[in-house]
Chains A and B, each alone.
Chain A
Amino acid sequence: MSLIQSKGEKATRQGFSDALMELGKENPDVVVLGGDVSGSVKVDAFAKAYPDRFFSVGVAEADMMGIAAGLALVGKIPIASAYGEFAAGRPFDQIRQSIAYSEMPVKICASHSGITVGPDGATHQSLEDMALMRVLPHMTVISPCDYLETKRAVKASLGITKGPVYMRYFRDNTPMFTDESTPFEIGKANTLAEGKDATVIAAGLQVWEAVQAAEELLKEKISVRVLNMHTIKPLDKQAILKAAKETGAIVTAEDHQIHCGLGSAVAEYLAQSMPTPQEFVAVNDTFGESGNGKDLMKKYGIDKDAIISAVKRVLKRKK
């Protein structure tokens, strides 16, 4: 028996690209900024279809964020595109002052996030971006789990008209396992599998890893709930509280540093509402390195196997 089927693979960044094409058609105010990585972040299709609404700003991410703020000020819907590290880390203060503090409805769309960007190595692996963006007041932070969810999230982000959105997704092709009938609402976690012994709260690529882990654990008669926490901010507190109450043990899983990401967000909330044993599946306070995405997920302990061990650890701590 399997909990959820996957239907082929596609890159989450392609979901972003396909959403842009639809938005370009639907909304004349949508404008896209590119920083000399148009092909890899996949804004090239939009640039070709809507050349009047695409602007190359050169390799200049700080400039890009300021330009996005200016465009938003005059009523445009700017989509700023870059790799995760250069979308969040490089222009942090520009985002903080001109976009977040000033409540500009800019969409910061970060492809190539996490360690799975792979061979490029640590300089290009944004493992701190959710931390940086989550800490900013007014910011919405979304980390979708597959191609279609990325596409839906990008489109849904236009509904947020006050304040910016930061969206992180990935380079590699990854399993597609959501469809149009899967619930998706920004700020609302989605239960992918029911369970009573523990809950895995995952975001991004770790959602699929969590589904697989749950499936394997079921063979050992451990029943795990899987929550897709695609919105890191604002957090779906209700779903977390419910999981803590009903399963009494939490594992969080993300392609990010262990500090200040999804795991921390969940722990911060539970510490105040209902302290619950929690294990963190995340990169353990270290920089990454070159290698292929799958090997790195294994070496840095953020794959299915890491989730399985974390579930077993947390069950031992459960009262």
Chain B
Amino acid sequence: MPQSNTQKLDHKGLEEMARQIRRDIIKMLLISESGHSGGPLGVADIFSSMYFNVLRHDPKNHNWPERDYFFLSAGHLAPVWYATLARAGYFPIQELTTLRKINTRLQGHPAPAYTHGLPGVEIASGSLGQGMSIAVGCAIGLRLDKKPNRVYVLHGDGELDEGQIWEGMMTASHYGLDNLIAIVDRNFCQIDNRTDKVMQLEPLSDKWRSFGWNVLECDGHKIPDFLDAIGKAKEHMGKPSVVIAKTFMGRGVSFMEDDYRWHGVPPNLEQAKKALSELNPTEFGDFIEFDWEKELVTAK
């Protein structure tokens, strides 16, 4: 089986990368002055693990036929995806300064390479609840061709309110798609409030199980725990698997952590400074340095 064309990082490297991705997210959002902070920060450990350990992929050849497919159904998490893709080498890291600006490839919600989007983005998302169906179609197609590629789809927990996801879940188990792995970002937060206030999801694991899925729960911030769950999911035959990863919205930034009000807003200058002071620099280095003294972001 052809291997991934990126080098894999060990646990420590993945943690470093996750922290770097968090720094990148803060800087991107400070420049864009618009976009989602909380969700992206919460899944940085998952994205680091996926792109620097789990996925078979080739950043220099994003249409590599042997690649695993990754779908971000919760498209508003775009900042974490863009930072990760840039870090993995899909596009020049300097482009992270263009998030949400006119004429950018870094659209507010992901757009695929053949419109005006980015390499690494397979299909558009942003309107919630559509990724499961796409992943099911992709997994069925790959199985028809007897191909070993795996399909991953990441959902927000609030996103699970959308009925289409449950339709797709039924189809996935109906066809026994064991080449499909779903990941749920279980941060208990959405826009209006905590998930149990907006729409009760519990007992969530039981629901997935009753829909015919192999269910794995893990701590989405403990990288070995997450990798272990993915490993078990890959081994499970005859059923699709879901990894329900318990996370905290805004992870890594004390004043954002576990607070749904950070769902969709960017940090201001003061908040960004404070956030970065809590996220130590890493060996990978920032994509941009700011002239904080002048209270002026050089990239603007």
Contact of A119 (CB < 8 Å), options: B35, B192, B193:
B35
Stretch at the interface among B121-129, B212-220, B236-244, B275-283: B121-129
For residues 98 through 113 of chain B, which have their beta carbon under 8 Å from a beta carbon of chain A?
100-104, 106-109, 111
- Total inter-chain residue pairs, C-beta < 8 Å: 101
Beta-carbon contacts under 8 Å, B73-92 to A: 75
Q: Which of chain B's residues have a CB closer than 8 A to the CB of A254?
A: none
* Given known A63-B163, A90-B127, contact A120–B192 (CB-CB < 8 A): no
Are B161 and A123 closer than 8 Å at their CB atoms?
A: no
- The 8 Å CB contact of B102, one of A44, A57, A85, A292, is A292
A123–B127 CA distance with the chains assembled, in angstroms: 6
Q: Is the CB of B103 within 8 A of A291?
A: yes
Cα–Cα distance between A46 and B65 once the two chains are bound (Å) = 52
Residue A22 lies at the interface, judged by CB distance under 8 Å to chain B: no
Secondary structure at the B interface, as helix, strand, loop or mixed, is: loop
CB-nearest residue of chain B to A56: B198
Interface residues of B in 101-146 (CB under 8 A from A): 101-104, 106-109, 111, 115-116, 124-129
Closest Cβ–Cβ distance, residue A166 to chain B (whole Å): 18
Known: A56-B192, A59-B190, A289-B107. A123 touches B124 (CB 8 A): yes
Residue A62 interfacial (CB < 8 Å): yes
For the complex, what is the distance from the CA of A37 to the CA of B193, rounded to whole Å?
Answer: 10
For the side of the interface on B, what is the size category?
A: 35 or more
Looking at chain A, what size class is its interface with the partner chain?
A: 20 to 34
Q: In this assembly, does B204 line the interface, its C-beta being within 8 Å of a C-beta of chain A? A: no
B111 touches A121 (CB 8 A): yes
Complex: A220 Cα to B161 Cα, angstroms: 56
A72 to B199, CA, bound (A): 22
Asked whether B191 lies within 8 Å of A37 as measured between CB atoms, the reply is: yes
A39 at the B interface (CB under 8 A): yes
Contact with A along B186-229 (1 / 0, CB 8 A): 00001111000111000000000000000000000000000000
* B10 contacts partner chain A, Cβ-Cβ < 8 Å: no
In the complex, the answer to whether A290 meets B158 with C-beta atoms within 8 Å is no
- Identify which of A62, A63, A86, A123 gathers the most chain B CB atoms within 10 Å of its CB: A123
Task: Write the chain A residue with the least CB distance to B161.
Answer: A58
Note all chain A residues with C-beta closer than 8 A to B34: 118-119
Judge whether B102 and A124 touch: CB under 8 Å.
Answer: no
* Bound Cα distance A37, B191 (Å): 6
Q: Does A38 contact B (CB under 8 A)?
A: yes
Chain B residues contacting A85 (CB-CB under 8 Å) are: 127
Interface flags for B239-279 (1: CB within 8 Å of A; 0: not) read 00000000000000000000000001000000000000000
What are the residues of chain A within 8 A of B107 when measuring CB–CB? 121-122, 289-290
Which A residue sits closest to B195, measured CB to CB? A58
A40-74 contact mask (Cβ, 8 Å, vs B): 1 or 0: 10001000000000001111101100000000000
Q: Provide 20 A-B residue pairs closer than 8 Å at the C-beta atoms, listed in order of the A residue.
A: A36-B158, A37-B192, A38-B192, A56-B199, A58-B198, A59-B158, A59-B159, A59-B190, A60-B199, A63-B163, A86-B127, A119-B32, A119-B35, A121-B100, A121-B111, A123-B109, A290-B102, A290-B107, A291-B100, A291-B102
- Top 10 A-B pairs, shortest CB-CB distance: A123-B126, A58-B199, A291-B102, A58-B161, A121-B108, A59-B161, A119-B100, A121-B107, A119-B34, A120-B108
